[in-house]
């Protein structure tokens, strides 16, 4: 299968998936999400692969979010579908992989980018990484699992602060908060991820998939939270604040919100 928005590189038992839209800071458009879904399905079936690393191309961004230009004109129904399809095709898909998926966060991980990193089983970051959920600056909320997974990873209070303030945190703070496990210079990031991935690849794949299922089953309560998120995300698309937020982003200016 030839991909347009991702590249795939298998080194021994480790598959590296790289999102290839550097001029748009690797923003997740529909086609990229679909390609990642296909690649993940294949990787899950392929017994020669025992660990997956997801990263972004270039030195600036892991993923700067969902593609704002693509969804700016969406209706409430389309917004809800965007969120639901994203959960099914990518974010829940990553989390439910039978082999560990590591996020190599090589720069900005914003909105859907941080949500993708949080769907992975754990994260390493480069020193220049910046992480945040800036959706409320666009008049919308995190719609790819961020309202649930951020609270699981850093606790409710820090998640509330990050989501409502839309402020980014740096790599060192992300490590202190438990959002990433390790911080290394950018040029060492992939090799560092590769080293732990190769270690994982020597362990029992059967036991590892059982461990992943067991850890995740403890978080199944988040199911109703995800459904609330999908509905609330969709409803934002019918608001004047959403129109103002997305228009301001595309016009490269600050938004003015009236709360309608």
In the complex, the residues that contact ligand COA under the rule CB under 6 A are: 24-25, 27, 64-69, 108, 110-112, 134-135, 138
Q: How far is the CB of 142 from ligand COA (least distance, A)?
A: 8
* Half-sphere exposure for 84 (CA within 13 Å, toward CB): 11
Q: How far is the CB of 228 from ligand COA (least distance, A)?
A: 18
* Half-sphere exposure for 23 (CA within 13 Å, toward CB): 1
Distance CA 41, CA 110 (A): 25
| Cβ atoms within 10 Å, residue 63 | 30
Q: Write down the catalytic residue from 80, 135, 223, 258.
A: 135
Nearer to ligand COA, 100 or 113 (CB): 113
Q: How far is the CB of 210 from ligand COA (least distance, A)?
A: 35
Distance CA 149, CA 8 (A): 26
Checking DSSP bridges between strand 108-110 and strand 182-184, what pairing results, if any? unpaired
Known catalytic membership, residue 115: yes
- Find where tokens 């990193």 sit: 117
Nearer to ligand COA, 18 or 26 (CB): 26
Nearer to ligand COA, 137 or 181 (CB): 137
DSSP alpha helices (H): ranges in the chain? Answer: 30-45, 68-71, 76-86, 92-95, 112-119, 146-154, 156-165, 171-176, 189-201, 205-217, 222-236, 240-250
Q: How far is the CB of 56 from ligand COA (least distance, A)?
A: 12
Nearer to ligand COA, 71 or 124 (CB): 71
Q: How far is the CB of 55 from ligand COA (least distance, A)?
A: 16
Nearer to ligand COA, 14 or 94 (CB): 94
Q: Write down the catalytic residue from 115, 161, 187, 229.
A: 115
- Dihedral sign for Cα 28, 107, 136, 17, please: positive
* Catalytic center residues: 115, 135
């Amino acid at each position: 299968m030839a991909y347009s928005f991702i590249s795939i590189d298998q080194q021994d038992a480790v598959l590296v998936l790289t999102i290839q839209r550097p001029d748009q800071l690797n923003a997740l458009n529909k086609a990229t999400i679909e390609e990642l879904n296909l690649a993940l399905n294949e990787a899950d079936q392929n017994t020669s692969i025992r660990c997956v690393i997801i990263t972004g191309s270039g030195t600036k961004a892991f993923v700067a979010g969902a593609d704002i230009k693509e969804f700016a004109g969406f209706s409430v129904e389309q917004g809800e579908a965007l969120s639901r399809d994203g959960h099914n095709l990518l974010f829940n898909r990553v989390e439910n992989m039978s082999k560990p998926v590591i996020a190599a966060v090589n720069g900005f991980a914003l909105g859907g980018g941080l949500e993708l990193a949080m769907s992975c089983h754990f994260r390493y970051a480069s020193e220049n990484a910046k992480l945040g959920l800036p959706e409320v600056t666009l008049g919308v909320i995190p719609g790819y699992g961020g309202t649930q997974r951020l609270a699981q990873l850093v606790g409710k209070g820090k998640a509330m602060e990050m989501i409502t303030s839309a402020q980014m945190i740096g790599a060192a703070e992300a490590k202190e908060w438990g959002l990433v496990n390790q911080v290394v210079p950018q040029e060492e990031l992939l090799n560092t991820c590769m080293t732990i991935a190769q270690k994982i690849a020597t362990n029992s794949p059967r036991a590892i998939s059982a461990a992943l299922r067991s850890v995740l089953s403890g978080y199944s309560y988040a199911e109703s939270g995800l459904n609330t998120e999908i509905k609330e995300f969709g409803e934002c698309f019918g608001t004047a604040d959403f129109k103002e937020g997305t228009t301001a982003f595309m016009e490269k200016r600050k938004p003015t919100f009236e709360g309608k």
